[in-house]
Amino acid sequence: MTDDGRFGFLVSPLKGRGMFRFQLIIDSQLIGDTEPCILGTAMARLGSLTHLEDDRLNLFASDRDIILSALLTEEELHDRTTLSIAESLDDWLIHGYTHKGNTVVVARGDEDGSLTGPTLVAVVASAEYDSIIQAARIYWSSVNSSIIS
C-alpha cells in the first residue's frame, strides 16, 4: 500500500487450492468482500492498465463525479478502463488507467446495478503503483506456486 494508506491491495491466501482474499484500498477505504477468489486475471489486468491522453481527465482535482460520468458514458473511455478483476469486487464498479505519469483508480458501490455511495478515487504516481502491483504479484505468485507444489 502507499505510505499514506490511500491506495493498496489486500492479498491473503485462504483454504482451498489457489484461493485468495482480495480487496482494494481506494481513497483510504477497504473495498470488496472477503469471499475466496482466484487472482490470475486480477494480477494480469492490474499490471497492464490502459494509458489515456484525454485532457478531460485533468478535471479530477475539481470534480470526481464528472470524471466517473465520462468513464461510464463514453464508450471509448468506459471499455478501456473498466476493471472486472475478481469476484470479491462484484458489488463495485471499478475503473483504472494511467494519465500523465499517474495511475488513477476510481470506484463506486454497484449493488444490484445501481451506483451507491461516494465516488472513491486514488491517484498514485505510476512508478509507485508499479512497485505496489509488482510486490502483490510476487507475493501472490510465490504463495500460489507453494500451494500447487
pLDDT of residue 50: 94
Q: What is the pLDDT of residues 22-38, one digit of tens each?
A: 999 999 999 999 999 99
Range picked from 50-54, 58-62, 91-95, 113-117 for highest mean pLDDT:
91-95
Q: What is the pTM of this model?
A: 0.90
> Could you tell me if 110 and 93 are in contact, meaning their C-beta atoms sit under 8 angstroms apart?
yes
**How is residue 87 annotated by DSSP?**
G
Give the DSSP letter string of 47-82: TSPEE---GGGGGGGT-HHHHHHHHHH-HHHHHHHB
AA identity, residue 136: A
Q: Where are the domains of the chain?
A: 7-148
Q: Between 145 and 30, whose confidence is greater? A: 30
Measured CA distances, 107 to 46, 67, 90, 133, 139 (Å): 14, 11, 12, 17, 24
Q: What is the pLDDT of residues 83-99, one digit of tens each?
A: 999 999 999 999 999 99
d(CA 97, CA 69): 15
